Amino acid sequence: MNRRKFLTYVGCGCGSLLLPSCTSAPITDRKQLKLIPEAKLNAQAAQIYEKVKEKEKMSDDTKTLNEIKEIGKKMEDSISEYFYRSNLNDPTANFDWEYILIDNKKVRNAWCMPGGKIAVYTGILDVTKNTNGLAAVMGHEVAHAVAKHSVERASRGVLLNTGTRIIDIASGGILSDINRTTGMDTVGLLSQIGLMNPFNRKQESEADYLGMIFSSLSGYDIRETVKIWERMKEFNKGKEPPQFMSTHPSSDTRIKQLNDWMNDVILDYPPIEIS
């Protein structure tokens, strides 16, 4: 089979695969590509979550852990109620929510794995300061899971690897020669900076926006969200990498966007009363 026929067959095959895999993110309606089954990713995440619980030191601060669980429960209920009232499919219907507090003051972070597996590090508490701040951070992490960002990133990774192989074949192996000559994954580096990093920043901004919505729906004061990023900026002390090199927007960008969204979110997504 010659190269042209091969590329034609591959192109047709990829097209038939991509068309039924295009969906939309909840609320924002941003178009998404999902090639990886969500159930598979959720199962893998649950296994990794168990390993994290075994490896990391769990905090004995039961008061804060209970607060995390309370915030989480309010968000679970508010998110499901919002989608029910909007007559939309609940993206969290198959989630198995769980919350842990990891004792590590050096890590100012939190995360939410696919399927609703949440971890908060004690280091982030110096930034959140209060219940509304903690809810803002959790809302952001929950938003990643609700918007299926992990599924989307995994799918893009598969597509990018496939596309790179096709281009290498079409170019007669030129890309492979460049990599061997330079001793580095040139294509991978360029795709990371030129494709994946901007895409990840888009996801982060989407999680900021959706996180504000989920916090507001749950009855928390989302004005604290901006204060968090002002405090985070102070903690970073100007050591952030240039935005184009980062998977996250800069603190200044986030603060501006959050301020721009604030009033609309407060008006359009007031707290949901659940009987």
Catalytic residues: 141
Cα 41 from chain centroid (whole Å): 14
Left if phi > 0, otherwise alpha if psi is -120 to 50, otherwise beta: which for 172?
A: left
Task: Classify strands 98-102 and 117-121 as parallel, antiparallel or unpaired.
Answer: parallel
Q: What is the spatial distance between Cα 62 and Cα 43, in angstroms, rounded to a whole number? A: 28
d(CA 147, CA 150): 9
- Nearest Cα neighbor of 68 from 7, 110, 9 is 110
Q: Which residues pair with 33 in a beta bridge?
A: 22
Is the separation of the CB atoms in 251 and 232 below 8 Å? yes
